[in-house]
Amino acid sequence: MSDGDWVAPVGVTNVQVLGRGGSGGGAGGGCCSFNSGSGGGGAFSVARVVEVAPGTSYHITIGAAGRGGKGDNNGGGVPGEGGGKSSFGSLAVFAGAGGGRAGTENKPPGGKGTGGGGDGGVMGYAGEDSLTAHGGAQGGGGGGGAGDGNGGDGSTGSDHNGHNGINGGGGGGGGQQIPSGNNTGPAGNGGDGTAGQIVVRW
């Protein structure tokens, strides 16, 4: 799916635009206990009916996926990027979801969902909208996305990296560095979100 142009056919004056922005990336994990990253927000598709002029070209922009933040073995991880906005000309704009925040002992909220998409979870918890969101043991799960979209799992004891979202789901958060014990590993990176979408129906 990529940017492009759509020309309204002869006789078509109204179209339905089904769109969503990009979902957010999960935050990277940090050096210490309670420093797992939170998950990115999910982006849910929204339908809008707009008027168009036959023969007129409308530029379609697809919102970029939010990239996951890098883990940091010496401090707090890098926050996840927010997803980019999708648009159908200037007639319909769909915001991207928020990226996950780096973990602290205050357990900041995960990335904010958009268009009805779920918020990302904090350390060890699934993203909101439990029917479609996933979670993990250390990093927060990504928020649920559109329809069949799932948020990426947070990190686990053996894999400190968060997982990528699916079809509008946000990326999972990365886990913290574990300096000793059976599951020793570095601070994990957050998972990536997913790109936005535009569908034109008439």
Tens digit of each residue's pLDDT (9 = 90 or more) over 150-198: 899 998 877 899 999 999 999 999 998 887 666 667 899 999 999 999 9
pLDDT of residue 181: 67
Q: How far apart are CA 20 and CA 94, in angstroms?
A: 5
Nearest-angstrom CA–CA distance, 179 and 55: 63
pLDDT in tens, 101-155: 987 766 667 999 999 899 999 888 899 886 778 987 788 889 988 666 789 999 8
Torsion over CA: 20, 68, 164, 157 (sign): negative
Query: What burial class does residue 43 get, using C-beta atoms within 10 Å of its C-beta: 0-12 exposed, 13-18 middle, 19+ buried?
Result: buried
Report which residue type is found at 190.
Answer: G
Task: Give Rg (Cα) of the chain.
Answer: 18
Question: Residue 79 is part of which domain span?
Answer: 1-202
The pLDDT tens digits for 18-70 are 999 999 999 999 988 788 999 999 999 999 999 999 999 999 999 999 999 99
Closest CA to 14 of 62, 46, 47: 47
Model-level pTM?
0.93
Residue, of 92 and 149, whose pLDDT is higher: 92
Beta sheet of 197-201, edge-to-edge order: 46-51, 14-20, 197-201
Quote the pLDDT of residue 1: 65
Structural domain count, the chain: 1
